[in-house]
Amino acid sequence: MSKNLVIVESPAKAKTINKFLGHDYLVVSSMGHIMDLPKSRLGIEVEHDFKPEYIVIPERKKHLETLKKEAGERTVYLAADPDREGEAICWHIRNALDNGKRKFKRVEFDEITEHAVREAFKHPRDINTKLVNAQQARRILDRLVGYTLSPLLWKKVSRGLSAGRVQSVAVRLVVEREEEIRKFRAKEYWDIEADLKRKADEPKAKFRAKLDKHKGKALEIHAKHEADHIVEALKKERFIVGEIRQSKKRKKPYPPFTTSKLQQDAFNKLRFPASKTMHVAQGLYEGVELGKEGSVGLITYMRTDSVRVSKDAQADAKHFILEEYGKKYYPERPNVYKSKKTAQEAHEAIRPTLPLRDPNSVKEYLTPDQLKLYQLIWRRFIASQMSEAVYAVTSVDIKAGDYIFKASATKIVFDGFTAVYEADKDKEEDEAKATLPELSVDEPLDLLELFPGQHFTKPPPRYSDGTLVKALEELGIGRPSTYAPIIHTIISRDYVIRESGYFKPTELGGIVTRLLTEHFPKILDVEFTAKMESELDGIEEGDVDWLITLRSFYSPFIHSVEKARLDMKDVKKEAVPTGELCELCGRPMVIKWGRRGKFMSCSGYPACKHAKSITSGVKCPNPGCDGELVLRRSRRGAFYGCTRYPKCTYITRKLPEKEVPEAKAGPAEA
């Protein structure tokens, strides 16, 4: 019989670790959290220093009994993930299994490799109560806000709604961005470009320059008549080469991935939503079956805000780069990156556990999504250890009377890290396409054609998974483990919909945000939320008392709640007439708010329960169909379907819009 029991969170992780430890160890899974606050009530004794009432999760009761039997008289090693959540899982398991006789030891590792696991078991420690307290403080804060504000929304808007300490701030960002877009008014502006060539060259050797200044000042053109006037003036001018500047631009490699940067890059390059990125990364971390090797963890822990890299990983990367690319692709000194102040430097960046294991060597064992994400992580890490890229940049001023045109070209001198990884590929390709002939100062040029172009300023873009995660990180809201759950929550609550990859607030999201912002300005304040995150970090470091944090938060919060119960507008009672009559009883139909937004209901409710969705007012595009599109929801998210379903099965993720082509002037010949 094994002397020791090892408990991890997941079966996949248990399977990978099991092969590293000998017969003296039995590795089992806890299946995640064993204990939590009850779902049916607050579960916090506010009057007794916010004492939490933890219960065994009903679905885990039988499993807990199995764990107790497995523990027997063994020493129990708690090996959950190396973060607050993992520490709390270990703490709960110990409390549930502790019978006064068993010994408990905590082990942690950032990667599931034989070396890392064996080293962790050589250096077990006690459970870190500071980490546990930080997790408890977050859990209690979120419970206090959620279980207090949600019933208020049920009373004032509709049953089934929810509010959250961080999720509501994220919705506010999306709502405010939509408001910016709505208020945006496009401004017209024009630019003028010229096709030029050297006197001795053929027309096909032309190059393009852009009008930049007039009489030494930056030129702004606001209307067509201004552009036409300048074009006519330029046709009469001689074009002469002015100043020529040659320079070298050095581009440093990017640091290896943190959680937020991985989520951003995976969205931008692979179009993975944040939740999908984390799900796929979890599988790569916990272990993938690699034929005869068995289950192997391919990446380090994927919830991190650190860019630190171990010396062993640096050495492996160096070996690979020298072997595959040569000496000039490796810097004189290893690249070292600086993490932000709040980063947990005990952790590493997200990297391949074995840098020598390139994506092609494991391709046959991975799913398409796993391969794509592993390639992204592997390339980013290898590139982070490589030499910088070097570009030769030529910039030319071209004089045309009082006007100055600018032309530039960028040439790659040494590709460096970009041989493996490029962040802005499209931009770099556009720069590389621009070429210039060999020009000399005061050389006259031939004007071939002038191109006045009309443009309009664009509104700020809606948030995507990548840009919302970036905004949350920059504002200090949430932490690596919370970005994906935040996005999942605001979508599942129907406060936000994903439309063509971008987030748009629902009408429900807008009204809930307005009500909460009006009555709980502090809770929905970005700076206040960021300050709370910093305090939670302080608890983890042992610099802040978690009870003091809870007390200072709760007193003003509950005062605002009591005031809002009296003052908050009762949207539920606002029944707006529609002019329609109920198909069942003939009473007037009215518009009300529900958990999924506005809907039409019989004014005779509850005697008559007839209700129906409100259409978008957009006609169904199917030929011969007289239905309209209505917003519907499924497990895969929101979509628009025809009111004539099932006769008409037309569906779309985005409402059809009339496209207005951008006005553009044609070329003006010289």
What mean pLDDT do residues 391-405 have? 97
pLDDT of residue 661: 37
Token pair recorded at residue 111: 């990667």
Same domain, 198 and 278: no
- Pick the closest to residue 11 from 63, 56, 46 (CA basis): 63
Token pair recorded at residue 35: 């204990």
- Reported as a single tens digit per residue, the pLDDT across 479-517 is 899 999 999 999 988 899 998 899 999 989 999 999 999
Weakest mean pLDDT among 114-118, 448-452, 633-637:
633-637
352: helix, coil or strand?
A: strand
CA-angle at 485, arms to 549 and 143, nearest 5°: 35
Per-residue pLDDT at 419 exceeds 50: yes
What mean pLDDT do residues 345-364 have? 92
pLDDT of residue 660: 36
**From 301, 330, 463, 483, active-site residue:** 301
Same domain, 291 and 328: yes
pLDDT of residue 659: 38
pLDDT of residue 662: 41
The DSSP call for residue 350 is B
Per DSSP, helices labelled H in 157-291 are 167-183, 224-235, 259-270, 274-286
Same domain, 119 and 145: no
Same domain, 32 and 105: yes
pLDDT of residue 656: 77
Residue 662 located in a structural domain:
no
pLDDT of residue 430: 53
Token pair recorded at residue 639: 């979509």
Please report, rounded to a whole number, the percentage of residues in the chain having pLDDT higher than 90: 80
Among 384, 418, 436, the domain-final residue is 384
Same domain, 103 and 152: no
CATH number for 47: 3.40.50.140
Helices (H) and strands (E) in the chain, counts: 18, 28
What mean pLDDT do residues 108-136 have? 95
CA dist 31 and 180 (Å) reads 44
What mean pLDDT do residues 10-23 have? 91
- Reported as a single tens digit per residue, the pLDDT across 292-344 is 999 999 999 999 999 999 999 999 999 999 999 999 999 999 999 998 776 66
Same domain, 264 and 379: yes
- Reported as a single tens digit per residue, the pLDDT across 427-448 is 555 555 678 999 999 999 999 9
CATH number for 534: 1.10.460.10
pLDDT of residue 668: 43
What mean pLDDT do residues 149-168 have? 92
Per-residue pLDDT at 261 exceeds 50: yes
Residue 661 located in a structural domain:
no
Count how many Cα atoms sit within 13 Å of the Cα of residue 310 in the half-sphere of its side chain: 18
563: helix, coil or strand?
A: helix
pLDDT tier at 635 (50, 70, 90 boundaries)? low
Query: Residue 640: what residue type?
Result: Y
Same domain, 40 and 123: yes
- Reported as a single tens digit per residue, the pLDDT across 33-57 is 999 999 999 999 999 999 999 999 9
Per-residue pLDDT at 644 exceeds 90: no
Residue 276 located in a structural domain:
yes
CATH number for 268: 1.10.290.10
417: helix, coil or strand?
A: helix
Residue 665 located in a structural domain:
no
pLDDT of residue 290: 94
Same domain, 443 and 471: no
Let me know: does 449 contact 670? Beta carbons within 8 Å.
Answer: yes
Residue 365 located in a structural domain:
yes
pLDDT of residue 56: 97
Let me know: does 599 contact 592? Beta carbons within 8 Å.
Answer: yes
pLDDT of residue 275: 95
Q: Could you tell me the CA-to-CA distances from 459 to 182, 183, 503 in Å, in that order?
A: 9, 9, 15
pLDDT tier at 637 (50, 70, 90 boundaries)? low
492: helix, coil or strand?
A: helix
Q: Could you tell me the CA-to-CA distances from 400 to 207, 218, 442, 444 in Å, in that order?
A: 16, 15, 12, 10
- Reported as a single tens digit per residue, the pLDDT across 181-240 is 999 999 999 999 999 999 999 989 999 999 999 999 999 999 999 999 999 999 999 999
Same domain, 497 and 594: no
pLDDT of residue 22: 84
- Reported as a single tens digit per residue, the pLDDT across 648-665 is 999 988 887 643 334 333
pLDDT of residue 657: 66
Same domain, 81 and 157: no
Among 384, 400, 432, the domain-final residue is 384
What mean pLDDT do residues 563-579 have? 88
Q: Tell me the sheet residues that pair with 192.
A: 452
Higher pLDDT, 2 or 89: 89
pLDDT of residue 344: 62
Q: Could you tell me the CA-to-CA distances from 126 to 77, 86, 119, 557, 623 in Å, in that order?
A: 10, 13, 16, 35, 69
- Domain residues for the domain of 54 are 4-127
Q: Tell me the sheet residues that pair with 453.
A: 191
Residue 669 located in a structural domain:
no
CA dist 91 and 106 (Å) reads 9
Let me know: does 348 contact 302? Beta carbons within 8 Å.
Answer: no
Q: Burial letters for 627-639: b for 16+ Cβ neighbours within 10 Å, e otherwise?
A: bbbbbeeeeeebb
Among 456, 490, 513, the domain-final residue is 456
Let me know: does 6 contact 27? Beta carbons within 8 Å.
Answer: yes
- Reported as a single tens digit per residue, the pLDDT across 585-618 is 999 999 888 777 778 899 998 899 998 888 888 8
Token pair recorded at residue 607: 């005697």
Same domain, 157 and 199: no
Query: Residue 326: what residue type?
Result: G
CATH number for 422: 2.70.20.10
3-class DSSP string for 553-564: HHHHHHHHHHHH
How many structural domains compose the chain?
A: 5
How long, in residues, is the chain?
670
Q: Is 325 a catalytic residue?
A: no
Identify the residue whose tokens are 């492996």. 316
Residue 270 located in a structural domain:
yes
- Residue 499's contacts (CB-CB under 8 Å, 6 or more residues apart) are 638, 653, 654
pLDDT of residue 638: 72
Token pair recorded at residue 202: 């053929």
Same domain, 373 and 401: no
